Structure 1
Amino acid sequence: MSRRGWVLFALMSVLWGIPYLMIKVAVEGVSVPVLVFARTGLGAVLLLPFALRAGGFGMLRRHWRWLAVFSLLEILGPWALLSDAERELSSSMTGLLIAAVPIVGVLVARLTGDAERLGPARWAGLLLGLAGVAVLAAPHLDGGSAWSIGEVMLVVLGYSTAPLIAARKLADLPNLPLTTVCLTFAALVYLPPAVVTWPDTMPSGRVLAALAGLGAICTALAFMLFLELIREVGTSRAMVFTYVNPAVAVVAGVILLSEPLTSTIVVSFALILCGSVLATARQPATKANLTDAPPVGALPADAPPADAQHADALPR
């Protein structure tokens, strides 16, 4: 990989590893609807000039139903659930739970039409990853955190399902217009509740900085850099940074928010990371693999957690 590729890779690992930190800070001063509206609205405004230059908005009209479903599973639901969950959970724990997306993604693909068989290594990866989630979540299920953990698990399911919709129903749509439309739709949906729950006093500078960072850096800038990374190193290599994001989330939470680094977090991170790598590893081509090819339009089970031709890897 070129030096430019490594720089882009490092930037993406950070930019999509710190949203959990910024969400944790932002929910201290604003409501969940205000947070989601600020993030999606600012991201849409900043991406709009680039999307207009790219063109292709006309192609989106005939897919509006699937665009709405995709937006619901990738932005509308997850970003609100994440924000509400982080009122109770630490940012590092949230980031680790989200790391289960590649694992659940393999299961969802398998249950929704992927005909590829899972070998022993990939089954072992699924079990390892799920064990990591259990190790992390189990100590908190008997208290007030159970609801928040459930919210994050719904986010994981949404993030795992949205790529399938993008790959199977939105395959012919251009990236930037699709992303901009989804962000704009989400901002409009959250505008009324944001107005109703608007803070009576100006939030602190810390909270405002977090909101600005979520919209401008973790959404608009991150998505542009993500496209550049794909152009530079290709799809498969570009998506490897998703395995680094949880570590960034944990480190950021520990250093900047003084969140505890416990043995449970370390063990669960190792299990989830190893499980994700094994569960999404490509199988060597065999005669059986070629015979049992997946149906046209199906997302392969060994595909990365986000289809690189679309915006299903939106900043998180």
Structure 2
Amino acid sequence: MTMERLHQACLATMPLLFVALWSTGFIGAKFGLPYAEPFTFLFIRFVLTLLLLVPLVMLLGGHWPKGAVLWGHIAVSGLLVHGAYLGGVFYGIYLGMPAGLASLLVGLQPLLTAALSGPLLDERLTPRQWLGLGLGLAGIALVLGGKLDPGQALFHGFGIEALGAVLVALVGISLGTLYQKRHCTGMPLLGGTVVQYLGAGTVLGLGALLFESRTIDWTPTFLLTLGWLVLVLSISAILLLMALIRRGEASRVASLFYLVPPVTALEAWWLFDERLPAASLVGMGIAIAGVVLVVRARA
């Protein structure tokens, strides 16, 4: 009886564990970027992930996408969901944006996805979703207003370029989510993830070749961070997500994603002493409330 209760407790905490692991991706960027440029960092991460993930697909008897057309669609979705998203986040943090703020901005993805689903998927927004969109915009205005700097950088610690990079990440993952929903309905999770990483890694590798020096300082901190991002985020989190989907818990994960920004902000405060002013903290709460409204309405 005790073992059964322990088993049930472990299952109940799996969605929370997934979200907690996901939040560390922003922290990993903060730890690793002093030692490698963003596109170079991500390219190495994807190469190492693929070296582990391809044998894992074969070992677990996973399926590969069927047909060249589906492969192409999945590669495009990977370019948006992983390439634009991670590339924008890492580049924004590289340019000085706090990890907690970056997490909050891309955490607005359900809001932008809901707004785009009307013209792209012919889905109508409910009044609750419109209210959520309004709260999200108001919250972000408060957060960014609290970070305004009358000096040349525009914001405390970062400039407009960092904000632009993270907004590219937000648009990328929103468009990628809609594209995947429309064109990748037959995508197997594990095999499809390999194809997505191939598409994203190819473009990020090209970006590293064209725009970066590709110099890496192989310190213990960088190696540990790279190992965490590959083994825990890119491999373990995907397997955990597969287990949750098999148990029908994917909706719980989606509803808990709004916890990622405050968890990331707490981690960044503890590890890097990143602080948000009171107005920004209030704005974060309002923005998260907007995301909750939209996610609940879509559910």
| Superposition TM-score tier, normalisation by shorter sequence | 0.7 to 0.9
Structure 1 window deviating more from structure 2 (81-90 vs 228-237): it is 228-237
2:13 matched to 1:7? yes
Other-structure match for 1:40? 46
CA distance in 1, matches of 2:295, 2:223: 38
Which of the numbers 251, 263, 267 marks the counterpart of 1:248? Answer: 263
CA distance in 2, matches of 1:255, 1:241: 22
Identity between Structure 1 and Structure 2 (%): 22
TM-score computed with the length of structure 1 as normaliser? 0.82
**Displacement of 1:18:** 1.0
- Alpha-carbon RMSD: 2.2
Which of the numbers 184, 191, 196 marks the counterpart of 1:170? Answer: 184
CA distance in 1, matches of 2:27, 2:67: 33
Other-structure match for 2:214? 198
Other-structure match for 1:279? 294
| Cα deviation 1:54-83 (Å, max 9, x = unaligned) | 343251522233223212211122212211
**Displacement of 1:186:** 2.6
2:107 matched to 1:93? no
Aligned pairs for 1:204-219 (under 5 A) are: 204-219=219-234
Unmatched runs of 5 consecutive residues or more in structure 2: 1-6
| Cα deviation 1:13-46 (Å, max 9, x = unaligned) | 2111111111011110101122111221222222
Other-structure match for 1:51? 57
Aligned pairs for 1:1-316 (under 5 A) are: 2-52=8-58, 53-57=60-64, 59-87=66-94, 88-119=96-127, 121-138=128-145, 139-140=147-148, 142-143=154-155, 144-191=158-205, 194=208, 197-199=213-215, 202-282=217-297, 302=298
- The number of equivalent residue pairs is 282
CA distance in 2, matches of 1:5, 1:114: 37
| Cα deviation 1:78-134 (Å, max 9, x = unaligned) | 212211110211111111111111111110112213333412x22111100111112
AA aligned to 2:200 is A
Contact 2:21 2:232 in 1 (8 A): yes
AA aligned to 1:59 is K
Question: Which structure has more helix as a fraction of its residues?
Answer: 2
Unmatched runs of 5 consecutive residues or more in structure 1: 283-301, 304-316
Other-structure match for 2:4? none
Structure 1 window deviating more from structure 2 (190-199 vs 44-53): it is 190-199
TM-score computed with the length of structure 2 as normaliser? 0.86
Change (3 A) 1:2 1:240: farther
Change (3 A) 1:230 1:127: same
